[in-house]
């Protein structure tokens, strides 16, 4: 296998984490840091007092906390938030906690039965490697990239998201379903090449991004949630949704995944077609007539009962974080202003919980999957994660 020595050799750490706990005069950032520290101190104290290693994802209707196993697709976000809190505060108490919850996920590096290993290892181990120079995490990241690449289907040119032979996926009649969420997980492949020198991971990531760009987007630059391929011929069999309102609707978090995913592809490749795709997605989102004035989207842009539909804060936090990165490439196009408005609105009592409430998560009003009747108008660990990441990116842009 050949060694790749191109643009992906530059870590994204250099883009967003150069200031390592630097103070900021922005009161919004400071206020949110204090709030997050208070919430997550309560959260981690509860876990530590239990004597177990627990991983919170959301809350039930009765307000009790839902803890998840390590193979849940969201298992990397809580440890990732510990790393982000350490970066935001430079308080030494967060690193041991980040290490503990991260290293509980060690065996995830061998997971091959779904694509979300990118979220799971990227948010936990990769953050530890970047932010705390945990060199021993390198092996885990590379092994995880190997596991993820096992899902590549060369004839279709994509990494398969879900196995299609069990559960509700099998009921849909899919052969090789690929969801837009998968764009987020390409970071693990790009980092696999950067850390190992093996260009295979990079090539898979680029092929997946190109195939998705070709088949997953409509003429208005919105994206489908699921595209099902024939793994042998590469033919597109179906374009559908699993978590959106309808096959032809624009599921809000899917648009956020796409915006963030193509922005990170530009980060690692320098190929302007990816940045242009992100710009097109931005135009779709922020010119949509159903986007509320506060920029916190309804769970689907085409949901039938707007304005009486749940908002999805997780879509907003992911979008804002991506926009701070887009600003570093296109500083004159107003992306930071948009992201600032989103974070400001999320910092109000309408979306940010009181300390000690909301299962000790930071933000309220996210949506997991309305079609599955799951996690509707609740906190979600990934909403918090991208909110904290957005705060870091905002801080670093304003203090560099």
Residue 164: predicted pLDDT: 79
Tell me what the mean pLDDT of segment 216-239 comes to. Answer: 97
* β-pair partners for 17: none
Q: Are 141 and 126 in contact (CB under 8 A)?
A: yes
pLDDT score of 179 more than 90: yes
What DSSP state is assigned to residue 300? Answer: B
Residues recognised as catalytic: 116, 181
Indicate whether 213 pLDDT > 80.
yes
For residue range 50-81, list pLDDT tens digits in order: 999 999 999 999 999 999 999 999 999 999 99
Burial state string for 214-232 with b = 16 or more CB within 10 A and e = fewer than 16: ebbbeeebbbbbbbbbebe
Q: What is the pLDDT of residue 169?
A: 74
List own/partner pairs for 353-356 with CB under 8 A and 24 or more apart.
353/39, 353/379, 355/35, 355/38, 355/39, 355/42, 356/39, 356/42
User: What is the tens place of the pLDDT at every residue in 292-328?
Assistant: 999 999 999 999 999 999 999 999 999 999 999 999 9
* CA–CA distance, 381 with 291 (Å, rounded to integer): 23
Rounded to an integer, what distance in angstroms lies between the CA atom of residue 269 and that of residue 7?
6
Q: Which pLDDT belongs to residue 291? A: 98
Q: Are 83 and 127 in contact (CB under 8 A)?
A: yes
Domains observed in the chain: 7-399 (1.50.10.10)
Q: Give the model's confidence band at 278: pLDDT under 50 very low, under 70 low, under 90 confident, else very high.
A: very high
pLDDT at 165: 79
Q: Confidence class of residue 12 from pLDDT cuts 50, 70 and 90? A: very low
Length of the chain: 400
């Amino acid at each position: 296998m050949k060694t790749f020595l191109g643009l992906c050799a530059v870590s994204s750490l250099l883009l967003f984490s150069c200031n390592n706990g630097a103070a900021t005069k922005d009161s919004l950032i400071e206020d949110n840091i204090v709030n997050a520290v208070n919430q997550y101190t309560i959260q981690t104290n509860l876990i530590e007092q239990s004597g177990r290693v627990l991983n919170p994802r959301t809350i039930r209707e009765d307000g009790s906390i839902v803890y998840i196993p390590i193979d849940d697709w969201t298992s990397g976000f809580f440890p990732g938030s510990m790393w982000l809190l350490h970066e935001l505060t430079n308080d030494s108490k967060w690193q041991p906690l980040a290490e503990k919850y991260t290293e509980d996920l060690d065996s995830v590096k061998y997971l091959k039965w779904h694509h979300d290993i990118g979220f799971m290892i990227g948010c936990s181990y990769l953050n530890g490697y970047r932010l705390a120079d945990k060199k021993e995490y390198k092996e885990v990241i590379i092994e995880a990239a190997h596991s993820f690449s096992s899902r590549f289907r060369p004839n279709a040119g994509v990494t398969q998201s879900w196995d299609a032979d069990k559960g509700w996926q099998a009921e849909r009649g899919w052969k090789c379903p690929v969801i837009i969420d998968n764009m987020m997980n390409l970071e693990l492949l790009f980092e696999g090449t950067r850390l190992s020198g093996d260009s295979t991971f990079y090539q898979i990531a680029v092929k997946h991004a190109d195939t998705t760009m070709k088949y997953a987007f409509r003429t208005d630059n919105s994206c489908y949630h699921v595209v099902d391929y024939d793994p042998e011929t590469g033919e597109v069999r179906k374009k559908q949704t699993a978590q959106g309102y309808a096959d032809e609707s624009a599921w809000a978090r899917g648009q956020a995944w796409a915006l963030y995913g193509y922005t990170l592809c530009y980060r690692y490749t320098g190929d302007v077609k990816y940045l242009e795709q992100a710009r097109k997605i931005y135009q779709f989102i922020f010119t949509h007539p159903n986007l509320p004035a506060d920029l916190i989207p309804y769970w689907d842009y085409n949901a039938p009962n707007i304005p009486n539909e749940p908002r999805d804060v997780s879509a907003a936090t992911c979008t804002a974080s991506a926009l701070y990165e887009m600003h570093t490439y296109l500083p004159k196009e107003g992306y930071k202003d948009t992201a600032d408005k989103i974070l400001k609105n999320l910092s109000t009592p309408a979306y940010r919980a009181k300390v000690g409430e909301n299962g000790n998560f930071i933000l309220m009003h996210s949506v997991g999957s309305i079609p599955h009747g799951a996690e509707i108008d609740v906190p979600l660990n990934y909403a918090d994660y991208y909110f904290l990441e957005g705060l870091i990116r905002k801080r670093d842009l304003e203090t560099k």
